[in-house]
Each structure stands twice: as C-alpha cells, then as structure tokens.
C-alpha cells in the first residue's frame, strides 16, 4: 500500500477533469501543478465560467494536497479569505465539473480531493488522519462476480480501512 495518492497525468474531457500526476518528483510536481491549474482555469473560462480568485485558491490547494481535506481544513489553509457559503458554493461547482471528488467516512464529515483514478482510504481511528491508498488487485473482476452471483447491478463501491497511523501507533496509552 502506498501512503499517498498515486497521481497521474491529467486529462479534461466534456464531462470534466480526471486523473492527476506522478508525485514522485517534487520539482516536476510544482511545474505540473501550475500547468494543470492554468489548463483547468482556461477550459473553465472557454466554457463561459467566470474567473474567481477563491476558485483558483481552492484549485491550487486541492492540486497541492496529498490527502483529502474537509471544508474546515480547506478554509483554514486557503491563502485568501472567504466566507463558508462561498467556499461551499465553489466546492460544489468544482465537484459538478468533476475537478474534485467528495466523499464521507464514518464520521460523517465531507472530504474533498482532486479528482483522480479510483482509490480507497486508510483512516486513523485515533487522530482521524486520512490517507489515500491503492490496491494492487483490480476489483473489477470481483464486482463482475458479485453482479453475476447475486444478480445485482453495482453502480459504485466504497472501501475504507480503519486502524492506527504510524504516529498514533507510537503513542503509548
């Protein structure tokens, strides 16, 4: 398991933004982040959407983050001030355009991350840290088997792992 989301080169099609990029090279990551942000903002502009500083700031934060962020965390880390209504409106816009993904864990908190290929999350039950993980085995064959055996059409699935992160394992209770 990898401890951070594996990112791949981006693409933008009619339905929105998907994929990301390789996070192995920090220098390349900065250049790719800047290019991808420009590309996304230009496409949105071409589609007739206005350029908003808050949108750029959220996009910048989402592309730089290596973990999913709650609205509260996004608000805290933004480099510009915005009220929560505006922030939620912009998150909804970016989600509708498939630039970011939203999901909830067992705590009910909505978290956001830049759209990427399908992956799962490891959640620390003590500090609530959330990390992206990829499974080596493709689950498509298992989904097909479930569909065939149970005569059940799967639309999507959610798989999270709960345990203790490295820091919390080191803490003695």
- E strand or H helix at 86: helix 84-96
pLDDT at residue 45 in the model: 87
- The encoded tokens of residue 30 equal 């900065």
pLDDT at residue 93 in the model: 93
Tens digit of pLDDT per residue, the chain (173 long)? 333 333 333 333 333 433 333 334 444 445 566 778 888 888 888 888 887 889 889 988 988 888 899 999 999 999 888 888 999 999 999 999 888 999 888 888 899 988 877 788 888 999 988 888 877 677 788 888 999 999 999 988 888 899 999 999 998 76
pLDDT at residue 112 in the model: 92
pLDDT at residue 31 in the model: 57
Task: Decide: 134 and 23 in contact? Cβ < 8 Å.
Answer: no
- The encoded tokens of residue 31 equal 């250049």
In degrees, rounded to 5, the angle at the alpha carbon of residue 116 between the alpha carbons of residues 4 and 120 is 55
pTM, two decimals, is: 0.67
- The encoded tokens of residue 166 equal 């490295």
Q: CA-to-CA distance for 96 and 81, rounded, in angstroms?
A: 23
* Token pair 């959640």: residue: 123
Closest CA relative to residue 152, chosen from 161, 143, 141, 139: 143
């Amino acid at each position: 398991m990898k401890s951070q989301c594996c990112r791949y080169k981006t693409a933008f099609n009619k339905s929105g933004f998907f994929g990301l990029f390789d996070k192995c090279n920090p220098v390349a990551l900065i250049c790719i982040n800047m290019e991808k942000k420009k590309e996304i903002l230009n496409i949105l502009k071409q589609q007739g959407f206005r350029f908003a500083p808050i949108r750029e700031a959220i996009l910048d934060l989402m592309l730089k983050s290596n973990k999913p962020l709650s609205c509260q965390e996004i608000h805290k880390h933004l480099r510009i001030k915005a009220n929560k209504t505006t922030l939620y409106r912009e998150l909804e816009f970016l989600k509708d355009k498939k630039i970011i993904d939203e999901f909830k864990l067992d705590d009910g908190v909505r978290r956001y991350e830049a759209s990427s290929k399908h992956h799962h999350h490891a959640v620390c039950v003590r500090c609530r840290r959330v990390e992206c993980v990829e499974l080596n085995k493709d689950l498509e064959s298992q989904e097909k088997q479930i569909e065939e055996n149970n005569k059940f059409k799967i639309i999507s699935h959610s798989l999270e792992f709960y345990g203790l992160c490295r820091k919390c394992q080191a803490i003695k209770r």
